[in-house]
Amino acid sequence: MLDPAPRAAPRGTPSPSACPSERSLGRPLERRLRPFLAALACALAAAFAAPAPAEAKPNRPSAARSAAKAAPVLRQAPRRQASVPARSRPRTVAAAKPRPAAAPAARAVAEGEPSPSVAAALAAATRSTGTDPVLLRAIAWQESRFSHRAGNRQSTARGLMQFTEATWLEVVRDFGPRHGMAREAALLSTNPRTGAITTRHPRDLRAILARRFDPRLSAIMAAERLAAEQAGLQAMLGRPAGPAELYVTHLLGPAGARRFLAELNRAPARPALEAVGSDSIAANRGVFFERGTGRMLSLAEVHAGVGRLLAEQGASPRPITLAAR
């Protein structure tokens, strides 16, 4: 039997002889392309995967910055709340009880009247020396307005009776031992050539001069001085010395009073400035000058004014002065 004719191979079926050769050709090509494909895959993967991390990186700092900004705010918030005072309920303050109206204080010293201590000092001086109480009162008012702390800016006069330094040292030396100032009197020494009275130590001098502010001592020393000069004035005038003459003695001193009274008897219309020292006038302008006009008074006018002052002191507790000091 003859062999049948060979059948044609089905379409699409590779030829047995061709398949081995194609496979042998494809495998080396795949091996060659595999590194390139792998590199390409890595490049594509990097190209598509890189934006996500790149976009995330910028967000991290911004998130950190926003967190950093927010953090202080959260920390400061309690401080702000603490700085604002909490609203508390208003406190109710009890109304203060009205105090009873204070009664007007009683005036211890009426106008123109001495204080109790000054009045007692004047009364004691009158009892001790027998000096006219009206005269002492008039001197105290005219000299210091009854103030034992008074001082004269124009001179060294101080205290109730306005003793100058020189006059005070003189009366302490002469009358101090009678009134509890024997030690002070012993500290004083008189210059035989000039007649000035002083102490060895300045502190002793200051202590003695400070006693002028004692109203008791000031009043008693003034009364002693007037009593001592009364006999001399009587001998000069040929009659008993009246209150006006004694007042002038206290005002000008023994020598000044004698000169004033002598000139008054000789030329009463003469200006007082010509018969009285300028120091005495400067310290007692209210006695020697007219109120308002400032005119210098005559000797007779000064003497009459002193008489009116003494009369008013004896008739009324309210003093009437010659002129403003």
Q: To which residue do tokens 């002083």 refer?
A: 198
pLDDT at 309: 81
**Tokens matching residue 201:** 């130590």
Q: Which of 9-13, 206-210, 295-299 has the lowest mean pLDDT?
A: 9-13
Residue 47's pLDDT band (cuts 50, 70, 90): low
HSE at residue 80, side-chain half, CA atoms within 13 A, is: 6
Q: Where are the domains of the chain?
A: 116-315
- DSSP letter assigned to residue 212: G
**Tokens matching residue 104:** 């007007």
Angle formed at CA 77 by CA 73 and CA 82, multiple of 5 degrees: 155
Residue-wise burial string across 180-219, b where 16 or more C-beta atoms lie within 10 A, e elsewhere: ebeebbebbeeeeeeeebbbeeeeebeebbebbbbbbbbb
Q: Per-residue pLDDT tens for 93-125?
A: 455 555 544 443 334 445 678 999 999 999 999
How many helices (H) and strands (E) the chain has is answered by: 13, 2
Please give the Cα distance from 322 to 325 (Å, whole number).
Answer: 9
Question: Which of 154, 148, 145 has the alpha carbon at shortest distance from 211?
Answer: 148
Q: Which of 28-32, 239-243, 314-318 has the lowest mean pLDDT?
A: 314-318
The fold for domain 116-315 equals: Lysozyme (1.10.530)
Q: Which of 72-81, 84-93, 133-142, 182-191 has the lowest mean pLDDT?
A: 72-81
With a CB cutoff of 8 Å and minimum separation 6, the contacts of 60 are none
Look at the chain and count its residues. 325
pLDDT at 227 over 50: yes
Q: What is the pTM of this model?
A: 0.60
